[in-house]
Structure 1
Amino acid sequence: MASPLAGGTVLIICTIIAIVLSNIEATAHWYHSIWTRNLTIGFEGFQLSKPLELWINDALMAVFFFVVGLEIKREIIGGQLNSLKQASLPIAAAFGGMAVPALIYFFFNGEGVAKDGWGIPMATDIAFALGILSMMSTRVPLSLKIFLTALAIVDDLGAILVIAIFYSSQIDWLMLGAAALVFAYLVSLNRRGVHKMRWYLFPSIILWILFLKSGVHATIAGVLIAMTMPYTAKYSKKFFLDHSHDLRERFRLADKGNIDVIHNETQHYILQDMRVLSRNAISPVQRLEHALHGAVAFFIMPIFALANAGIAVSVADLHALVSDQGLGIIMGLVIGKPLGIILFSFLAIKLGWSVMPSGATWAKLVAVGCLGGIGFTMSIFIDNLAFTDPTLINYGKMAILFASVLAATIGCLLMVMTKKVGLKDRW
């Protein structure tokens, strides 16, 4: 599994590269022309032709959302969200962390030209937030990392619903109906116990194309496809234990005395059987999540940052940070996020629905809430969907970047301060 710290570092580097390239006169035109260049895929009679930036935002990000969907499914079935007692605190915190920022944004932009951007400050960037927590591992109890992970996953689910309901264009019901039939077919594959991924691949591509044509954002197809992936392994735990013991015994009996080099043909066949046994003891959901996590962390998200974080910043444009749009995003992420997370967590704990994470304090919870204000990937994604005016999109990205850096700085400082004598007790 890709390290959150490493993934976050690559994301930061690509963001800096994009900003630098878009602000140097010699490279700015070249930088922007790359992403607007058309790429056509298909054959005669059926072609998809889009600018490279849209291929990244509609196709590569569908893979990102697919992995998010796998994480959500894993957490709901066998993780931190599989029981109401475990899930209640991160769900309450995530709900507060979405509702309060949206209300703050609406307060500034209820009647303005930027009113459709209310979904921007609702999102948390899990890669950045967990990356920063990983850097401060000695100061953060494991329970808070688990809390932030579960909170970010619920937050992602909320963002997915917001995109599907509020940021989709005019719906083509015929295409959506066809997509529903393909989705039902994928569900039937799961119900019939089909574990070979090749049977899911072609229908999944068809589902993505139908969503692309339907008006509902194509990335939602990634989440729905993830929900149809089998969570149970082909071989049960008991079957694996029994047969692995048998294979080990056969391997030992087939040994010819050379313990340093395996060159016995019988042993080679036994090792192949062990590999098949091990593979089939892991569920497709877990295999796919593990296989794609590196590609998402080190290719898809960095490419997304390179294509979308290139903001031409001038002194004259800095007023955007104190415009209604800028203030709505910045105040929503930097103040609204921690306020919503802490307020709803406090209510859930005081009402007896939840318990404080082991080893955590309110001071540390506030620091984690501030890290939840790092929006970046999902916020920029929603910014692209919310506005059609390039100026509003650009100003939104400026505010997101500024707010994310500010939220990360405040969160880190608070996390360090919780180690100081007396602060823990006062909280």
Structure 2
Amino acid sequence: MLRAFFRTEAGSTSVLLGATLVALLWANSPWGDTYEAFWRIQAGLSFGEAEFSLDLRHWVDDGFMTLFFFLIGLEISYEVRLGQLTDRRLLAVPAVAAFGGLVVPAVVYLALNAGGPGAGGWGVPIATDTAFVLGVLAVVGARCPEPLRAFLLTLAIVDDVLAIIVIAVFYTEDLSLPALFVAAALLAAIVMLRWLKIWRAPAYIALGFALWVATLESGVHPTLIGIALGVLVFVYAPSEYKLLTAGEAVHEFTADPSARGARRAARKVQAAVSVNERLQLRISPWSSYLIVPVFALANAGVVLDAEALRRAVTSPITIGVVLGLLLGKFAGIALGTWLPLRLKWGVLPGNLVWGQLLGGAAVSGIGFTVSLFIVGLAFEDPAVQSQAKIGILVGSSLSALAGWLIFRMAWDRGGVCAPPEAALEPVEELPVLLTEPVGPADHVRGPVVHKVTIVEYGDFECPYCGRLHPIMQELLDRHPTTRLVFRHFPLRTIHPRAVPAALAAESAATDGKFWEMHDLLFANQRFLTDGDLARYAAEIGVDPWPDVPARLDRIGHDEETGRASGVRGTPTLFINGLRYQGGMDLESISRAIGEAERRP
């Protein structure tokens, strides 16, 4: 998830930078008057006599940006439930650092503007622009390891949450209670649809648009609705059942390619992933490559003539924004990182050192998207807005330069060394050794004198095991010094007949006919009802259900040894005690057996 986010955001930085430069060139060209004139063009919708109209800039700021904040809501919801924000010890340090990165820039700004006409702009330097930060880190390259990117992404998520709270509490206009009541009712309707598990996209789109209009009329900024709706979207980890059914559908498609099989496999794979993640994947490119660049195009067009620059140099608003981004962010994040580490409230990901952290604190002073957004909320006078925007451009540029210099100096002095394994995402490390050696109670097929032992953990209802069955028979014929051991690993949640089939095999084993039943079950995988199992038992002359509790204990013991050995699905093979990780085809397994035969 993190790597996909990095690729999308960092890759879109050039587009965002290009849109910013176009806006600046447009506003300072001989046709500069057309810049403001264009964004003030009115556009709207009419329903009979009712009419709803905004200028183009407000459609971008209040409309397009709602989708941007919806994506932030999705990211927050995912990270809180499944991602970086689930581990409190990893969350504590970036959360406190983000809080410091909000408070200190605001204090720096207010130290220059408290009581003046620019006091309301204290929120401008508090936000970090993740896209630009990741773009700078891409330029930094190896000097910035993956754990630092994960740390800064977590910090940016908390930073976004805090910025949203600031917008909601301090930059909300006079409230219209009737419109606010309608918005609350519409939000409740959406929550009700979610609770009733009604998944009809048109209903959500219609209610969402009505909610956006009602919120806009209420005085609360409508982009906050984007956050609320994003948080409401379901997010869940793929269940074992869904993963296994998806895997089976894909395997069936590869064995028998068809349009119907492709559609079924696509549905099963899609269903294994939560709606939250699917929406992020779809919306993120639109947000990164269209919405945010268009927002920059609509808001970054600052006139940089001599008069504007002269005013900016002496303006406490401009100076406050520059110092807030350059010094306030750096000091706030550095202090907010040091304090929880000192008090042992949390830990850092990977093997990070202060050279890296200080470089990350410096580049976090790049404030652009949300900073420009707050400028439009804090100031109405275009001249004052211009001073604040110049401050954002200058402060962000200096922060990027400062971060690059810190990374370079730390690298040159050897202060940014992290082992390669620190860049890996945490995954479950499965055992590779068979924990339970083959014993007299195991079901063994093959010669007494042997060089190679294959232990198979299998499920009689699993189609993969069924396809492997004839391959294993041919392998035993090809390698006469190889024996096969079968252990039960029924996938109970996905194969309801697997346990009864295993019981039937164990019952046959009482009369020494395990392998006869084993072969019958795999030859008739689609027919494993109790009646079918009783018929197979009658065919080979055994009692189908003797001493069921004891047989269940035996099956449960096999499952325990399998889980201890790292078995998570079927079939799983161990060759001479080592977990086999190659292809489940005749030639691949045969090569592995040959290598095992040659070992002393």
When the two structures are superposed, what TM-score results if normalisation uses the length of structure 1?
Answer: 0.92
Deviation at 1:121, TM superposition (A): 0.5
Is the contact made by 1:35 and 1:307 (CA closer than 8 Å) also made in structure 2? yes
Percent identity between the two aligned chains: 34
Is the contact made by 2:243 and 2:272 (CA closer than 8 Å) also made in structure 1? no
CA distance in 2, matches of 1:180, 1:216: 12
- 1:23 corresponding residue in structure 2: 28
Whether 1:160 and 2:164 are equivalent positions in the alignment is: yes
Gaps of 5+ in 1: 256-261
Deviations 1:199-230 (A, max 9, x none): 32111111111110000011111111111111
Number of residue equivalences? 411
Deviations 1:121-164 (A, max 9, x none): 00000100011112223111111101111111111111111111
Whether 1:99 and 2:90 are equivalent positions in the alignment is: no
CA pair 180-246 structure 1, distance change in 2 beyond 3 A? same
Q: What code does the residue aligned with 2:350 have?
A: S
CA distance in 1, matches of 2:251, 2:292: 45
Whether 1:241 and 2:237 are equivalent positions in the alignment is: no
CA distance in 1, matches of 2:360, 2:247: 45
Segment drifting more, 27-36 vs 156-165: 27-36
CA distance in 2, matches of 1:44, 1:97: 49
| 1:146-157 matched pairs, under 5 angstroms | 146-157=150-161
CA distance in 1, matches of 2:252, 2:368: 53
Deviation at 1:243, TM superposition (A): 2.0
CA distance in 2, matches of 1:82, 1:195: 27
Segment drifting more, 83-92 vs 285-294: 83-92
- 1:128 corresponding residue in structure 2: 132
Q: What code does the residue aligned with 2:388 have?
A: G
Is the contact made by 2:329 and 2:364 (CA closer than 8 Å) also made in structure 1? yes
Q: What code does the residue aligned with 2:409 have?
A: M
Q: What code does the residue aligned with 1:280 have?
A: A
Deviation at 1:73, TM superposition (A): 0.8
Whether 1:402 and 2:404 are equivalent positions in the alignment is: no
- 1:258 corresponding residue in structure 2: none
Deviation at 1:46, TM superposition (A): 2.5
Deviations 1:317-370 (A, max 9, x none): 223134211111011000000100010110100000012332211121111001
Q: Which SS does the other structure have where 2:412 is aligned? A: coil
Segment drifting more, 7-16 vs 91-100: 7-16
Deviation at 1:245, TM superposition (A): 4.2
CA pair 279-408 structure 1, distance change in 2 beyond 3 A? same
Q: What code does the residue aligned with 1:69 have?
A: G
Q: What code does the residue aligned with 1:242 have?
A: L
Q: What code does the residue aligned with 1:316 have?
A: E
- 2:209 corresponding residue in structure 1: 205
Deviation at 1:270, TM superposition (A): 1.1
CA distance in 2, matches of 1:32, 1:231: 42
Q: What code does the residue aligned with 2:240 have?
A: K
Q: Which SS does the other structure have where 1:40 is aligned? A: strand
CA distance in 1, matches of 2:328, 2:103: 8
CA distance in 2, matches of 1:412, 1:39: 43
- 1:259 corresponding residue in structure 2: none
Q: What code does the residue aligned with 1:36 have?
A: R
- Greater per-residue helix proportion: 1
When the two structures are superposed, what TM-score results if normalisation uses the length of structure 2?
Answer: 0.66
Who wins on radius of gyration, i.e. which is larger? 2
Q: Which SS does the other structure have where 1:48 is aligned? A: strand
Deviation at 1:422, TM superposition (A): 5.9
Is the contact made by 1:186 and 1:228 (CA closer than 8 Å) also made in structure 2? no
CA distance in 2, matches of 1:10, 1:245: 38
CA distance in 2, matches of 1:106, 1:355: 32
Deviation at 1:316, TM superposition (A): 2.2
Is the contact made by 2:100 and 2:333 (CA closer than 8 Å) also made in structure 1? yes
Tell me which of 326, 332, 345 is aligned to 2:318. 326
- 2:308 corresponding residue in structure 1: 317
Whether 1:375 and 2:377 are equivalent positions in the alignment is: no
Whether 1:414 and 2:406 are equivalent positions in the alignment is: yes
Tell me which of 379, 387, 405 is aligned to 2:379. 387
- 2:38 corresponding residue in structure 1: 34
CA distance in 1, matches of 2:148, 2:254: 45
Whether 1:115 and 2:119 are equivalent positions in the alignment is: yes
Q: What code does the residue aligned with 2:371 have?
A: S
Q: What code does the residue aligned with 1:109 have?
A: N
Q: What code does the residue aligned with 1:350 have?
A: R
Is the contact made by 1:376 and 1:400 (CA closer than 8 Å) also made in structure 2? yes
